[in-house]
Amino acid sequence: MADTPRVTRAQALAWRMRRQLLDPVGAASAEEVVRRLTAVPAQSDVDLALRTRQQASRPDEVNEALADGRLLRTFAFRGAVHLMTPDIAGAYLALRAVGRQWELPSWQKHYGLAPDDWPDFRSAVREALADQPLTSEELGAALVARPRYAHLAPIFATDPWTLLKALAWQGDLTLGPTRDGKATFQLLSHNPRWAGPPDLASAGRQAIEAYVGAYGPTTPDHLQYWLGAGLSAGRRRIQGWLDDLGDRLVPVTVDEEPALVLAEHAAELLGTAPTSAVRLLPGYDQWMLGPGTADPGVVPAAHRALVSRGANVVLAGGDLVGTWVVRGDDLTLTLFPEVAQPAPDALDEGIARLAAILDRSLRTTVAAR
């Protein structure tokens, strides 16, 4: 370990802010920001999460990217909906599908579908969606009209979401445009940029490299959290992919703690200086969700519950230092008393970025917690 490169936590956080296009703010398109983050949860304020990382942006940019297939929305980590680029979605869906949860005895009993039934069932779903996107009710009606799947009528009438997720994990469907306030589903194969999932080994290595590139310096435990707990990829598989990458990953120490970074990024990391930049991020931003809110180096333990419930956060130098809320033209910042307070000029710049994205002036109040 004596020869292992060493960086401080402040350096590591500053480099991660650079990698996540937060400081300096990137010149990337919406889909390029999503690709860098690898996935963006739909429960976040997606427009704000992306535009905070863009020097120039438009409010309708995400919808345009979804419409022409540069981005897609589908079920991924922990069954939640995420925005991804088609190439990275292919890797993640390959990992998500490897567990074949639809073959579990509990699934077979609940849905009345044996493993051998799935090829024909998937084909029926694709036929139903061949002409246009359908709501879950419309898709269910098309399927239960076939005597073979009539027994699924109660499922589609009550809670079809888990069944639909299994179809999404296998690459059959993805979320389409909302119609009259309802989600629709469309064939993933209709996306001209969808090339299908890569083979499992390639998918695993691609997923690891993408994660380390955005959330490094990181650890095998973080990868187990992201790909294992998030996608059920399997601990032994993940460790095997790490081993396969060999010298593509290099060790560093962050304040004496061992971590990993891509070899191509090591020199840049070592040369990164700490930053004082402030960014006002939406709740459920990937800055927190990528490493996980249980990581006290990302989310202070005393404030984990607040962040886990979706509080908007104030980020200073990579540290979470408070929360914020906007009501009308009033911005209220609540700074945590136990952490170093952001530099006033950096805080002003962060507020100005938020105001520019929201396209209105903000009256700011700093409240005590």
| Three-state DSSP class for residue 332 | strand
pLDDT in the model for residue 368: 67
| Three-state DSSP class for residue 292 | coil
Backbone phi, then psi, for 367, in 5-degree steps? -105, 155
| Three-state DSSP class for residue 121 | helix
Strand partners, 326: 331
- d(CA 318, CA 278) in angstroms, rounded, equals 8
> Is the pLDDT assigned to residue 58 strictly greater than 90?
no
Give all strands (DSSP E) within the chain, no chain letters.
6-7, 40-41, 72-75, 81-84, 134-135, 173-175, 184-187, 249-254, 257-262, 278-281, 312-316, 319-327, 330-335, 363-368
pLDDT in the model for residue 1: 44
pLDDT in the model for residue 2: 52
Mean pLDDT, all residues of the chain: 96
User: The dihedral of CA 196, 198, 203, 207: what is its sign?
Assistant: negative
User: Computed over its alpha carbons, how large is the radius of gyration of the chain?
Assistant: 22
- d(CA 102, CA 83) in angstroms, rounded, equals 23
- Cβ neighbors of 198 (< 8 A, separation 6 or more) are 90, 91, 94, 206
Q: For 307-323, what is the mean pLDDT?
A: 96
Which pTM does this prediction carry?
Answer: 0.95
State the virtual CA torsion across 220, 226, 229, 233 in degrees, nearest 10: -80
**Chain segment 76-135, per-residue pLDDT in tens:** 999 999 999 999 999 999 999 999 999 999 999 999 999 999 999 999 999 999 999 999
